[in-house]
Amino acid sequence: MEWITDLRKAIEFMEKHLLENISAQDVSAHVYMSDMYFQMGFRIITGCTISEYIRSRRLYLAAEEIVATDEKIIDMALKYCYDTPESFTKAFSRFHGVSPMQMRKNSYPIKAFLPLKINITVTGGSKMDYTVKKMEKFKVIGIAREFSFDNSYEKIPEFWDEICRKFLFSLRSGNQPKNDFEKAIVDNSIGEFGICSDCEDDKKVFKYMIAGKYKGGEIPEGMQLYQLPETEWAIFDCVGAMPDALQKVNTRIFKEWLPGNPEFEISYNMNVEWYSNSGKITDDDYKSSIWIPVKRK
């Protein structure tokens, strides 16, 4: 999986089709990659999401045209893929700090957003400590929600905070379950895993589940079952406070381990976060890990 080559192809595709109604899913499809993994990797390596990149490039080009021409705002809105002049003006003002007409009349400076140049030095898989372990398929049970790629780094920690406040802090302190939902949390150690996976019916979002190994029994309303496949997993250990420690290791996986890896490639469109039940997630020595499903080349 040649990440750097694929990123360059993706940027070339976006630049060629900026004035067309393309989506992040179109970009992933162009480089024949899992939408979930490609959008995750694009954000980690470039610092912005695919949607943000497309939007920012359009608004930069629109500003250059507004200063240089007398094109009507309604025509500019349609040209740069906005449904109405109002939505275009709102996005333009948020990005540049002034409205299109203000920029045209007063020659305000344009906020630059040039095409990305991918020149990243990668060290390959040998520089990261990891183990590879083959596991049989197993079921997990948990609480799942769908998240946008644009804000998942902020929203998923908020999801964890909510579930911890409502259930995990109390139950892990030894309080007895009050209902079937809380009993399932205790019986299945829900909170041991965080699982990302594709949404089959909506490629604009992905599913994230706070889960534990399923031990059997009724599935309470508000919970789901999910089966992890039989495969080899590349397991990367993390030590440090959440979520920073885990996000830093995830960044290194995409920048150092995946690009040009000579031995492994991703086998399924998912990844797993494992969390220790001992210690506080805010501790500097808190232990967790990231599991990436892999197959040998």
Cα(221)–Cα(215) distance, integer angstroms: 17
d(CA 195, CA 270) in angstroms, rounded, equals 7
Phi-psi region of 260 (alpha: psi -120 to 50; beta: other; left: phi over 0): left
For the chain, the domains span 3-106, 126-296
The yes-or-no answer to whether 3-106 and 126-296 have a common fold is: no
Q: What is the pLDDT along the chain (297 residues), one digit of tens a residue?
A: 477 788 889 999 999 999 999 999 899 999 888 888 889 889 888 889 999 999 999 999 999 999 999 999 999 999 999 999 999 999 999 999 999 999 999 888 899 999 987 655 444 434 578 999 999 999 999 999 999 988 888 899 999 999 999 999 999 889 999 999 999 999 999 999 999 998 876 667 899 999 999 999 999 999 999 999 999 999 999 999 988 898 889 888 988 888 778 899 899 999 999 999 888 888 999 999 999 999 998
CB 234 within 8 A of CB 268: no
CATH class of this structure's domain 126-296: alpha beta
User: And the tokens for 34?
Assistant: 């899992």
CB contact at 8 A, 287 and 279: yes
CATH class of the domain defined by 3-106: mainly alpha
Token pair 């889960």 is found at 211
pTM recorded for the entire structure: 0.83
